[in-house]
Chain A
């Protein structure tokens, strides 16, 4: 009984209240700006390091340092982000919005790594040095009391702010109707900025309060800890602060029980660690969907659909280029080229699913990993063709299972569900010695297609470009087909699709399955290129990077995916010259993705230089994002064109 009480208290005080703080921050930013801030954790992490710097290095009293970090430093970051980046995304597609905050997440990790060497051990002591009080037989540290106090005060303060102050009412008014808010004299941008400042302040508070309980400060741990807050925010449907608070407490307590009661064998321990993700999945699946806030992009110019002849010519040119390049490159460079094309195939799966279908998946690398695993299991014994089929089959089948919930999920909810799935796969499948052996590494056979042995890197490159070209041509053909039109239509208006009798369930299931199968194919090929792969190759965070790079290069284009794949593959190359390769890479990708806020269609998307020049000769609106984003216009703008 005593154990039960102390676990409950720990659940509330150690986890629940911290989740509550960060989740309330997420809700505030989401409602005011319509952007789900994936970087919430990164901001909390950076603030914790900043707090460390202030209190431990500059010896500023802890209370003062806390105030500076929570009320000045983090809000300033939030306000700046809103001003420089988020404001331009108001009418962008969901994947562009997601990409930019994912980029910020990676950027935050990269910056922190550059500023605070991970090799140095930094410990933040508990507030009041871990002194304890005993309340009703339960020992509570002052630290825990502070966490609970901070969460309760923040919740009450937010409630009072939104109900009783004019600024709070105006913030809610901006959520309701931006344009009308402007007409009453309240600047929508200013209140979105206020929302970001508040959200980041809450993230900072959460990060600083949880840091001492995690031992030495760890960049990745601190960043991902806050991910658990996503689930709580979902309980509140990203709107309700009280429900968010309750959700956070429930999650914290559940997590605490899982840690305390589940047997501490390897598997169960993993299980305890994915409780928040399971909770997130459950919440998304069980709770009713809130009214979907449709963020419709209205295109003025019809997107260009590449014709059959054009795509065939491009495919042949690509293969020819592959032949030439395979002669020019040698050694390690050839390896990068191979990995790049294989990664490009994985990226092509996103063109279908996200580019055309508008469904954002954050688990493509999990499918790729499944493909590689099937290739290892089947390809090694039953021949490579069978292995490839098994890879596509396994990934496709799992994709269909993941898609089943997606049939009623849309947008952000689907993205978060796939994220939870990917993290579960990481812990449960890829890091499982039952599947990946004691060394957590499997050797994947290279396919030998139609009698060609692909042992040489040169022939492999040619074969890979052939596969890439074939898949790309098929995807483009699919886009032109009835199925492709249906996908775009479903993305545009589900309601209209129902009225003309489109079977949305089947189409969504089909596109998800197909996309997963392509990712599986890419994964099998990628495994073959690397010959040895392990859990690190299919980490869920890579799926985020994949989406990010895809959006940067133009997620509606197949050509963009080839370049994206090569850029992705080149990341280890930096390792030879730099000390923190992955972080420098993240830094570059992060910066590039912030560029997405300037050009949501991506490098190969509608916005070529020529297009931009043409757009610049056309009129814009004062609130238009930028002349170059002429392709995406707010809904209201066109409805008001009449009259």
Chain B
């Protein structure tokens, strides 16, 4: 196993500027006998925001599960910052700088807001005060709710808490899984404003969404996944134009 990647400082500090943040090569994966990924190739450049779109069951979340170390692929390679991550556990990858905001539930409901933030300090070398200051600076509402159990927060506030981790822990690669799911459009807009900010700060982000337009607005590159394959890749404009035709019924908002 290679040495752990430095986690503090600017993103992608150990790799040269042109090393992609994430490279997926010919990835196959299956749940029991059901094959869900059939040869996925995907590259997220350093500091790039990549939107991965597609209908339900296309394999988007499975791709994220593999990249975050929660599932093993059948075949294929995953390189983060140029290093093969094969065999690394989810917690190890998290400490190495791959930060996930999983679908729907990014917080610990029976821990307080402050305790949730303290969990983020498992990404080596981070101080409690650093993480808290960064989070409360971005979302003052969380500071008011410091001692409150995260489970009692509203959906939007919970997502803010989950996102604040991404902001305060300076990840190498940020994986966002359908952060808009089940939230009011206004809150989605607010969250995506934050995503845009993170993007401007130069973090590499792989973003999975069903709703095309919100994601495409912040992305620099996009792809559409259908039935376990990348069906099309291009600029957000190109994808936006073609998306409707690629997956009927799950079109843009």
User: Which A residues form the contact surface with B (CB < 8 A)?
Assistant: 166, 169-170, 172-173, 175-177, 179-188, 300, 618-623, 630, 633, 637-638, 640-643
B144 located at the interface, meaning its Cβ lies under 8 Å from any Cβ of chain A in the complex: no
Decide: A179 near B70, CB < 8 A? Known: A169-B115, A643-B178: yes
* B67-122 contacts to A (CB < 8 Å): 68-72, 74, 89-92, 94-95, 99-100, 102-103, 105-111, 115, 118-122
CB pair A173 B72 closer than 8 Å: no
The residues of A that contact B100 with a CB separation of less than 8 Å are: 183
Using A172-B111, A177-B108 as known contacts, list a sample of 18 further A-B pairs with CB atoms less than 8 Å apart, ordered by residue number in A: A169-B115, A173-B108, A173-B119, A176-B110, A177-B105, A179-B90, A181-B119, A182-B69, A182-B91, A182-B94, A183-B99, A186-B122, A619-B30, A623-B90, A633-B32, A641-B36, A643-B59, A643-B60
Decide: A637 near B31, CB < 8 A? Known: A176-B108, A179-B70, A643-B60: yes
* B21-62 contacts to A (CB < 8 Å): 29-34, 36, 56-62
- CB-based nearest B residue for A641: B31
- Chain B, interface SS category: loop
B65 located at the interface, meaning its Cβ lies under 8 Å from any Cβ of chain A in the complex: yes
CB pair A184 B119 closer than 8 Å: yes
From the candidates A172, A173, A185, A622, name the one contacting B70 in the complex (CB within 8 A): A622
B123 located at the interface, meaning its Cβ lies under 8 Å from any Cβ of chain A in the complex: yes
The residues of A that contact B56 with a CB separation of less than 8 Å are: 642-643
CB pair A184 B33 closer than 8 Å: no
CB pair B95 A185 closer than 8 Å: yes
CB pair A183 B68 closer than 8 Å: yes
- CB-based nearest B residue for A184: B119
> Which 10 A-B pairs rank lowest in CB-CB distance, beginning with the nearest?
A185-B122, A643-B61, A185-B94, A182-B90, A187-B91, A176-B108, A185-B95, A182-B91, A622-B72, A183-B100
- Give CA–CA (A188, B89) in the complex, Å: 11
- CB-based nearest A residue for B123: A185
> Which of B107, B108, B165 has the most chain A CB within a 10 Å cutoff?
B108
- Give CA–CA (A546, B120) in the complex, Å: 46
The residues of A that contact B119 with a CB separation of less than 8 Å are: 169-170, 173, 181, 184, 186
- CB-based nearest B residue for A174: B108
> Which of B58, B71, B124 has the most chain A CB within a 10 Å cutoff?
B71
Decide: A169 near B118, CB < 8 A? Known: A180-B105, A300-B32, A643-B61: yes
Sample 9 A-B pairs with CB under 8 A, ordered by A number.
A169-B118, A176-B108, A180-B105, A180-B107, A183-B90, A185-B91, A300-B33, A618-B30, A621-B70
- CB-based nearest B residue for A643: B61
The residues of B that contact A172 with a CB separation of less than 8 Å are: 108, 110-111, 115
- Give CA–CA (A621, B107) in the complex, Å: 24
- CB-based nearest B residue for A169: B115
CB pair B31 A622 closer than 8 Å: no
B243 located at the interface, meaning its Cβ lies under 8 Å from any Cβ of chain A in the complex: no
The residues of B that contact A643 with a CB separation of less than 8 Å are: 56-62, 103, 177-178, 208
CB pair A638 B31 closer than 8 Å: yes
Decide: A642 near B109, CB < 8 A? Known: A170-B122, A184-B122, A619-B29: no
Decide: A183 near B102, CB < 8 A? Known: A169-B118, A176-B108, A643-B56: yes
- Give CA–CA (A461, B109) in the complex, Å: 59
CB distance from B167 to the nearest CB of A (A): 14
The residues of A that contact B177 with a CB separation of less than 8 Å are: 643
- Give CA–CA (A183, B124) in the complex, Å: 13
CB pair B111 A169 closer than 8 Å: yes
The residues of A that contact B69 with a CB separation of less than 8 Å are: 182, 622
From the candidates A169, A185, A642, name the one contacting B61 in the complex (CB within 8 A): A642
CB distance from B27 to the nearest CB of A (A): 12
The residues of A that contact B103 with a CB separation of less than 8 Å are: 640, 643
The residues of A that contact B72 with a CB separation of less than 8 Å are: 619-622
CB distance from A608 to the nearest CB of B (A): 18
CB distance from B60 to the nearest CB of A (A): 5
- Give CA–CA (A620, B30) in the complex, Å: 8
CB pair B115 A180 closer than 8 Å: no
CB distance from B18 to the nearest CB of A (A): 28
The residues of B that contact A175 with a CB separation of less than 8 Å are: 110
- Give CA–CA (A228, B178) in the complex, Å: 49
CB distance from B115 to the nearest CB of A (A): 5
The residues of B that contact A637 with a CB separation of less than 8 Å are: 31
CB pair A182 B106 closer than 8 Å: no
The residues of B that contact A641 with a CB separation of less than 8 Å are: 31, 34, 36, 57, 62
- CB-based nearest A residue for B128: A166
The residues of A that contact B59 with a CB separation of less than 8 Å are: 643
CB pair B62 A618 closer than 8 Å: no
CB pair A188 B108 closer than 8 Å: no
- CB-based nearest B residue for A187: B91
